[in-house]
């Protein structure tokens, strides 16, 4: 029997403070855990594809190799604001299904401060092609898909807020806020989005635990809002 290796990964982050996650990690983390940066390692730089585009294959492979994650490694991720779920989704997107999540507050053991590193591993990517939906397909198939918006209700309703440049939602999108209990979703082909493709992974993880799988719209609202020809829906 092969030896199963575990790797704790800290994915804490904050939308309004790119350094908050690393500070929290340095102050105290699960012993042996390495820090993976949602902004810099689990995303490409912001641009035309949205605020947190999926990381390039090279960026993600390097991050996972540096974190000591090889083919036999079982990853135990924890984080805030969907950071751990983003890592879980990306690992599956790259063909690595050996990942579980814990809530940060669930850890009752000791904490360690400072930086920790892991022995470098050779992460191998085996990209899936069936777990994402791009903007053009989504806009063409809105009537066929179960579109789920993971943002908080006020942003889904289209109220002015400091994050979205254009207030509103994708027409027909149901609201399943990432920080609330998951509502029951109708049957069908589920596509989840949020502001930039991070907290939507919380919805997809819950769906997976319930025995269903959905797809991610990676650009999410931060991409959709850049295109004035795309429809926008708001509460009247």
135-224: CATH number: 3.40.250.10
Domains 5-106 and 135-224 share a fold: yes
d(CA 193, CA 150): 6
Domain definitions of the chain by residue range:
5-106, 135-224
Q: What is the rounded CA–CA span in Å between residue 93 and residue 90?
A: 5
**Length of the chain counted residue by residue:** 236
pLDDT at residue number 1:
34
Would residue 99 show up in a list of annotated catalytic residues for this protein?
A: no
Prediction pTM value = 0.95
Strands (E), 52-204: 73-79, 99-101, 146-149, 174-175, 190-193
CA angle 124, 64, 87 (to 5 degrees): 105
pLDDT along the chain (236 residues), means of 10: 75 94 97 97 96 98 97 96 98 97 92 95 95 97 97 96 96 96 92 98 97 97 97 90
Domain 5-106 carries which CATH code?
A: 3.40.250.10
pLDDT tens digits along 63-100: 999 999 999 999 999 999 999 999 999 999 999 999 99
Q: What distance in Å separates the CA atoms of residue 2 and residue 152, rounded to the nearest whole number?
A: 44
Helix H or strand E encompassing 206:
helix 200-209
């Amino acid at each position: 029997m092969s030896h199963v290796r575990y790797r704790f990964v800290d994915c804490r982050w904050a939308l309004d403070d790119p350094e908050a996650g690393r500070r929290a990690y340095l102050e105290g983390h699960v012993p042996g855990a390495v820090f993976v940066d949602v902004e810099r390692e689990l995303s490409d730089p912001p641009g035309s594809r949205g605020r947190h585009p999926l990381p390039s294959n090279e960026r993600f492979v390097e991050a996972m190799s540096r974190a000591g994650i090889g083919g036999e490694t079982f990853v135990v991720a924890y984080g805030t604001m969907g950071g751990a779920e983003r890592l879980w989704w990306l690992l599956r997107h790259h063909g690595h299904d050996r990942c579980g999540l814990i809530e940060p507050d669930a850890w009752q053991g000791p904490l360690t401060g400072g930086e920790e590193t892991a022995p470098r591993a050779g992460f191998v990517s085996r990209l899936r092609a069936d777990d994402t939906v791009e903007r053009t397909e989504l806009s063409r198939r809105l009537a066929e898909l179960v579109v789920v918006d993971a943002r908080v209700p006020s942003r889904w309703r289209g109220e002015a807020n400091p994050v979205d440049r254009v207030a509103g939602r994708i027409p027909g999108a149901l609201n399943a806020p990432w920080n609330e209990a998951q509502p029951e979703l109708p049957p069908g082909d589920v596509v989840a989005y949020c502001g930039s493709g991070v907290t939507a992974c919380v919805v997809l993880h819950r769906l997976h635990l319930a025995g269903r799988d959905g797809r991610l719209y990676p650009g999410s609202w931060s991409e959709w809002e850049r295109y004035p020809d795309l429809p926008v829906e708001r509460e009247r």
